[in-house]
Homo-oligomer: A and B are copies of this chain.
Amino acid sequence: MRNLLMKVNYDGTCYDGFQTQPKGNTIQDRLEQAILHLTGETTKITASGRTDAGVHAYGQPFNFTTSSQIPLERWCLALNARLPQDIVVTEAREVPLSFHSRRGAKRKTYRYTINGNRFPDPFQRRWQHHHPVQLDIPAMQQGLTHLIGTHDFTSFASRRSTKTSHVRTIFEAHMEIDRSMCRPSSTDQGVIYTYVTGSGFLQHMVRIIMGTLIHVGEGKLQADEVAEILAACDRAAAGPTAMSQGLALMSVEYEESWE
């Protein structure tokens, strides 16, 4: 048996998330179908983590074992020929049988994209949350810094979370603004990217962080209230869950250098 580690980019717009569900059209289903078509083997793939319905990914790692002898360099093209156009496998390598995409993941980075310009962008609309109302970006950045470190993130987790511990570490978080698409002398705020890198993330965690930061940006919350929300360990204390389409998994790092 071989253990194959691959990376996949997907536009999640049309899918019910990564992980197989009873009545869902998921990225995992499509990948497993493509592997079945190619190898004749029924497999269960393991990803670094699930993504919600509508969430996107650049380089989501997944692995699976196979007895297929197809050479490594042929896998990507062969799978892509059997996948819809919004799912593209970009890397394939062989790893020790002990390697596990989820358990081995040490750092994950997500990006949330807000289009703060007055009008939506027809080219980027599938992966931007359009929010033309004026946002106080420095206040949002200040609120975000309260989340860096190791904390109990119960306030920022779905009530449906079944994890025994909600303690996670956010190593790094920052915002970037791209004003290249702003129209001159307009109220356009640019495209606002928020990057969050952590040890792992609870269900809806980045989206609840973003919903809370948007409330800070709108002046509904003070930046320093984010610290109180965190301390409350109560989902009701935080803001709403921001729309999934703005979220993308950007990278996953492993202890041993699989990059």
Q: Which residues of A pack against B, CB within 8 Å?
A: 9-11, 56, 76, 80, 85-91, 118-123, 125-127, 183
CB A39 to nearest CB in B, in angstroms, measures: 20
In contact, B11 and A88 (Cβ under 8 angstroms): no
Among B9, B119, B123, B125, contact of A122 (Cβ-Cβ < 8 Å): B9
Which 7 pairs, one residue from A and one from B, show the smallest C-beta to C-beta distance?
A: A11-B122, A86-B122, A88-B122, A90-B119, A88-B119, A9-B122, A11-B123
Please measure, in the bound complex, the distance between the C-alpha atom of A56 and the C-alpha atom of B119, giving whole angstroms: 17
Given contacts A88-B119, A123-B127, 7 further A-B contacts (CB under 8 A): A9-B119, A9-B121, A56-B123, A76-B118, A85-B120, A86-B122, A89-B119
CB of A92, distance to nearest CB on chain B (Å): 11
Q: In the bound complex, what is the Cα–Cα distance between A208 and B9 (angstroms)?
A: 32
Residue on B nearest A12 in the bound complex, by CB? B122
Chain B residues, Cβ within 8 Å of A126: 123
Which among B87, B88, B119, B183 is the interface contact of A80 at CB below 8 angstroms?
B119
Per the bound structure, the CA–CA distance linking A123 and B249 in Å amounts to: 13
**Cβ–Cβ contact A85 & B127, under 8 A:** no
Q: Which of B76, B119, B121, B125 contacts A119 (CB 8 A)?
A: B76
The smallest beta-carbon distance between A61 and chain B, in angstroms, is: 14
B9-A123 in contact (CB<8A): yes
Q: Are the CB atoms of B121 and A88 closer together than 8 Å? A: yes
Listed by A's residue number, 19 A-B pairs whose Cβ atoms lie within 8 Å are A9-B121, A9-B122, A9-B123, A10-B122, A11-B122, A76-B119, A80-B119, A80-B120, A85-B122, A86-B122, A86-B125, A88-B119, A88-B120, A88-B122, A89-B119, A90-B119, A90-B183, A91-B183, A123-B126
